[in-house]
Amino acid sequence: MNLNNLLPSKGSIRKNSKRLGRGQGSGKGGTSTRGHKGAKSRSGYSKKLGFEGGQMPLQRRIPKFGFKNINRTYYNVLNLDSIQILIDNKKIKKDLTKENLIQLGLISKKDLVKVLGRGELKSGIKIEAHKFSKSAILKIKKAGGETVEIS
C-alpha cells in the first residue's frame, strides 16, 4: 500500500460545495447567486421572526385585549363529587393527601390543589389541600371529615 493508491471508502466521497465569487468564468461570480442589491444580498442578513417584507406584520395588525397577570397562582380544582367517586371506587380509604393525588395521576408534583364544594360527600375523610372553599369546608365537616391546609 502506497500513498498514491489510497482511496476513500465507498460512499464516503462528499461532493464539493459550489464556490461562489471566484470570477465570472465560474458562472458564480459577480453577485455570487444573491441577485442585485437588497437585504438578502448583504452578508449577515437574517430575516426577523414574523417579518412580512415591510408590510405591517400580523402580530401587530390584530388588536390585543385584556391583561395576563404573570404572578397569578393557578390551582388544580378538585370537587367533592369527584372525591366521592374516588371513595366509591376504593381509590382512597381514610385520607386524601397530595401524594395520593399524584399516585392517582390527578396532579403533578408541583401543582397546587383547591377543593371546591360541588356535590356531596357521604363519608368523613381527612383531606389535605392548599386551599378550600367555604362551602367545601362546611360539607366536609358535616360529613364528619377533616380539612388540613398545606402551605
Residue recorded with cell 390527578: 106
pLDDT digits (tens, 9 = 90+) for 38-50: 999 999 999 899 9
Where exactly are the structural domains of the chain? 75-149
Q: What is the pTM of this model?
A: 0.58
CATH number for region 75-149: 3.100.10.10
**Distance between terminal CA atoms of the chain?**
76
Residues 135-149 have pLDDT tens digits of 999 999 999 999 999
